[in-house]
Amino acid sequence: MIIEVPNASHYEESGFGYLNLAWTEAISHLLHVNDAKETWWDASADDEDDDAPSEQEQRFWQRVQKHLGQSLSLSVQGTEFLLKGRIARISPYLLIANKVAEWPKQNSDGNIRFADFKTVDAQDLCRLYGAVSENPLDDEFTDLFTQLRRKRNVLVHSVDNSLKLVAKEILVNCLVVSEHLIGQQKWFGVRREYQVSDVEDYEDSCVNCVLGREFGILMEVLEPAQLHRFLGLNKRRRYYRCPSCQGECADWGLRTLSAFFPTKEPGQRELYCFVCEETFDVERSKCLDEECQGDVLYEDDCLTCGETQDKFRW
């Protein structure tokens, strides 16, 4: 008998893990660039052309190519595990690649461990899944998976350094993979779960601070259509400071505007934060700072400029 047969969740957990590691690695460099631009990089180098990265930034991205390569490899690994999980949901035995005549020998108890079998090659996973599933994967996903594996192979097996990896693209790849293999707009929730399990190990880290910083990066680097597709967010809507995240993450200098009114009706009072998922009953009245256009207050703080209103009352 075949023993120690993995189930779908075994593969899926590994898939989540690898994809999260890939994401953490890629986004960490974007966070670093953001911090560097705000604090220690020479800002005057950036001014000439807003869109083009400064020489400093280009040098930085050149230096971290190896890390981005590792991130890309991790994302491919994660995708393979998630695909195997999908197949294992139907039957894990589908993943066995050996012909019956070539199966590994039974051990003394007459059993064969699942791990002793050769499993289906990564390049055949989409085809296999397509043949046994009622919802085969679409071309966008299969093309992306092929492309990612090719890039990974170039990195692993070649001395050709012409491949230029971009952190934002790795993030978008993770988002596409997540949409197809985890579910629509599920990625931010996956990140939350991953951070929560992390915090159990490192008590001084704060889930909302990490997520808040990542949210800020995503708002900055993703196109409006991508934000809408992958996170369900409208980039053109007005965003406010979240009373809870601002307080909780004060030490992190978090200035992300992560709260918004879910509908467009004027005078709304229920402000929702995408990062901590809390809703706040806010006061709608004009901020007392004449330079501020804000009209959303919470416990005497303006959620647009962040100033406490008491400061303007004397």
Cβ-based nearer residue to Zn ion, 174 or 245: 245
Cβ-based nearer residue to Zn ion, 104 or 306: 306
94 SS3 class: helix
Tokens 């995708």: give the residue: 79
Min CB(232)–Zn ion separation in Å: 16
Min CB(290)–Zn ion separation in Å: 10
Which residues are at the interface with Zn ion (CB under 5 A)?
A: 242, 244-245, 273, 275-276, 287, 289, 292, 294, 302, 304-305
Min CB(234)–Zn ion separation in Å: 18
Cβ-based nearer residue to Zn ion, 207 or 275: 275
Cβ-based nearer residue to Zn ion, 15 or 294: 294
Min CB(313)–Zn ion separation in Å: 14
Rg (CA), the chain: 24
The angle that helices 139-157 and 125-132 make with each other, rounded to 10 degrees, is 160
CA-to-CA distance for 107 and 152, rounded, in angstroms? 36
- Cα separations (Å) of 64 from 26, 33, 167, 174, 243? 10, 11, 10, 19, 36
CA-to-CA distance for 285 and 265, rounded, in angstroms? 16
Cβ-based nearer residue to Zn ion, 83 or 276: 276
Min CB(284)–Zn ion separation in Å: 13
Cβ-based nearer residue to Zn ion, 40 or 314: 314
Alpha helices by DSSP H, 39-64? 55-63
* Cα three-residue angle 102-107-113, rounded to 5 degrees: 70
The tokens describing 89, both together, are: 């949901």
CA-to-CA distance for 15 and 84, rounded, in angstroms? 9
Cβ-based nearer residue to Zn ion, 21 or 292: 292
Neighbours of 127 (CB within 10 A): 12
Cβ-based nearer residue to Zn ion, 179 or 289: 289
Neighbours of 262 (CB within 10 A): 11
CA-to-CA distance for 80 and 249, rounded, in angstroms? 36
The tokens describing 133, both together, are: 């599933």
- Provide the CB-side half-sphere exposure for 86 (13 A, CA): 24
CB 83 within 8 A of CB 129: yes
Min CB(170)–Zn ion separation in Å: 26
Min CB(211)–Zn ion separation in Å: 9
Min CB(292)–Zn ion separation in Å: 3
